[in-house]
Amino acid sequence: MSNPFKSLDEKKLSWFHFKSLITTGMGVFTDGYDLSSIGIVLLSVLSSFGINSKNPNYTLYVSLISGAALMGAAVGAIIFGILSNKGRKTFYGVDVAILTIGALLQAFVNSPEELIIARLILGIGIGADYVLSPVIMTEHSNVKDRGKILALGFGLMWGFGATTAAIIYLTLSYLGLNSMLIWKIVLAAGAIPAASVIYLRRKIPETARFLGRIKGDVKGFKEVISEVTGSSININSNLKDEKSSFYYFKKYWKYFSAAALIWFLYDIVVYSGILFGPSLIASKLGLNSGTFQLVNEALFVIPGGLIALALIDKAGRKPLQIYGYIGMAVFLLGFAIYEHLTGSSHGFSPLLALLLYGGYNLANQAGPGSISGTGIFAVELAPTKVRGTVQSIAVASGRIGATLTSFVFPALFVKYGQFFAVSFLSTTAILAAIITLVLVPETKAKPLEEITKEVEEMNILSKEFGGIIKE
């Protein structure tokens, strides 16, 4: 028997893939914009509401404003992970509609509490998108380019969004607008890219894998195969997976747990930089938050993403992830040691400090940022029937890690100093590298159904029912 998804797996990159990449990737562009922009304008937001370091609730406000979207994302991931089992496309577009509403609400807030609520709503849309977009793109992708498609759509697009946030902030600052107007425009502008793909997301076809393996819709399955590949396929048996979700969780719980744990650790490390790098670290380098963000994205993050694009389907996911985490740990520790030894003395070089911090960003995007940060392990290791659920657990796990960072890192930074806080992050990165090495299998150049052993089940069905496919 031939794998019923063989034509999808072997389809060369086409206009359909590129259109889908833009449709799905623009949500991640928006996520990158929304989650990084708050770090750029955080000090301005606090100042506008009269909150300074002397305020007894200063650290709490920093944490809640920075982490509200992340908390909302954990909730949104779980909700839409469950809904994804009703159809990948069914709720696609709703996620970016929620993103649009949440972003716009930020322009009309009059208190930090209102901003926190607006960002909670925004976060629900982010969590939904982090579940739906990677699952849909993965199930539509071919084998040869699946890693590149995910790394570009959910790695580099995030960086492009973050870069855009910095450019808008610097442009508005150059125009001389008052600080409150600047941060409100910067935050609300995230509605534009989200709203731009609502229509396109409603028009994207349901995935053949959902139709065949979950819904058991043979007619719909054949129609999507024809639309995506341009070829027809004859099926004489139902492809529906009759196994329970519990069966897969019992069988693959180690892989699912590893995917969730790695994302949890990844977000602890990376969101400390996203949320606090521009505001807390940049101040020590003598740079404003927008310039700091733009320099890091242009010189380090985007080049790192290009390295990932070149190697992810050749070298594989595991090597990039492991070496990336080690690089992140080394550069973070180097930054912490250098700052600790020089402090604010005459020997402290902001340029060298920036290069060390930039090296961390380069290693991140060349490895974990294009792998863990895109959810590759969760969507590739999970069988179709539980792929949405596993992705939602992994996303929620990551957002919980990021939320923890938004509360813990400021306290570590303020109470124990930068050396201790950054050294903690370096150790966490090493732990994630070890877990990747020990618990995660390589998935490059393998069809999804081969990775998850689903093709073996379909071969058994083929023998029992005289063949599923006639070619």
- The 10s digit of each residue's pLDDT in 195-238 is 998 998 998 999 999 999 999 999 999 999 999 998 888 876 78
Q: How far apart are CA 9 and CA 229, in angstroms?
A: 10
According to DSSP, the residues that pair with 235 across neighbouring strands are 469
On the question of pLDDT at 35 being above 80, the answer is: yes
Nearest to 70 by CA among 112, 119, 26, 128: 119
* Contact residues for 441 (Cβ-Cβ < 8 A; gap 6+): 255, 318, 381, 451
For residues 266 and 455, the model is more confident at 266
For residues 342 and 371, the model is more confident at 371
On the question of pLDDT at 132 being above 60, the answer is: yes
Among all chains, which residue has been given the structure tokens 């570590």? 412
- The 10s digit of each residue's pLDDT in 409-440 is 777 777 777 777 788 889 999 999 999 999 99
Nearest to 35 by CA among 75, 66, 74, 4: 66
Q: How far apart are CA 47 and CA 195, in angstroms?
A: 30
For residues 308 and 417, the model is more confident at 308
- The 10s digit of each residue's pLDDT in 309-319 is 999 999 999 99
Q: How far apart are CA 193 and CA 428, in angstroms?
A: 33
- Out of 59-68, 255-264, 299-308, 371-380, least confident range: 59-68
Q: What percent of the chain has pLDDT over 90?
A: 59
| Helices 384-416, 112-140: crossing angle, 10 deg rounding | 140
The dihedral through the CA atoms of 149, 153, 158, 160 has a sign that is positive
Q: Please report the beta strands in 215-269, taking only residues with DSSP state E, as ranges in sequence order.
A: 234-235
pTM: 0.89
For residues 356 and 120, the model is more confident at 120
